[in-house]
């Protein structure tokens, strides 16, 4: 019996440690409202940007905003499970070059700044998005 008590205690401690109440990146971004602010600012930035607007000119803005928020929610450990198209599927045929990709990242950083996202949190989100770069830039 004593062994099972020790195992139960260890399991309980592990459960408490993993659910320690630490805020997720999604929480740090401001949850749904924070992500929506970022997306709205980014869409405005894109709409006023001559360098990258042409990539989005034919986009359904409402759908784009919904899917981007959904993706950001998922990648930041929010309560979403993104099941939309992959970044490679979405960007296939767009021939996005490195210069324009980097410029869009700058527009995202500006959007996060406008949404009052602290710099360390911006960096955390950018670190999670960075591995997607290879699926977006045309090779």
Q: Cα–Cα distance between 137 and 92 in angstroms, integer?
A: 9
pLDDT of residue 93: 86
Q: What is the pLDDT of residues 27-47, one digit of tens each?
A: 999 999 999 999 999 999 999
Tens digit of pLDDT for each residue in 84-134? Answer: 999 999 998 899 999 999 999 999 999 999 999 999 999 999 999 999 999
pLDDT tens, 61-82?
Answer: 999 999 999 999 999 999 999 9
- Tell me what pLDDT residue 114 has: 98
Ordered by where they begin, the domains of the chain are 23-136 (1.10.490.10)
Q: What is the pLDDT of the chain when averaged over all its residues?
A: 89
Q: What is the pLDDT of residue 20?
A: 61
Q: Check whether 11 has a pLDDT greater than 70.
A: no
Instruction: Name residues whose C-beta falls within 8 Å of residue 100's C-beta, 6 or more positions apart in sequence.
Output: 51, 52, 55
User: Which of the two residues, 16 and 124, has the higher pLDDT score?
Assistant: 124
């Amino acid at each position: 019996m004593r062994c099972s008590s020790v195992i139960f205690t260890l399991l309980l401690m592990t459960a408490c440690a993993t659910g320690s109440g630490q805020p997720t990146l999604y929480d740090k971004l401001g949850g749904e409202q924070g992500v929506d602010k970022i997306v709205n600012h980014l869409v405005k930035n894109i709409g006023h940007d001559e360098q990258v607007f042409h990539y989005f000119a034919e986009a359904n803005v409402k759908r784009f905003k919904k899917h981007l928020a959904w993706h950001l929610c998922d990648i930041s450990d929010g309560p979403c499970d993104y099941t939309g198209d992959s970044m490679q599927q979405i960007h296939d045929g767009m021939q996005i070059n490195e210069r324009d990709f980097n410029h869009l990242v700058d527009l995202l950083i500006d959007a996060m700044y406008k949404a009052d996202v602290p710099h360390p949190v911006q960096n955390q989100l950018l670190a999670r998005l960075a591995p997607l770069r290879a699926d977006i830039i045309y090779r």
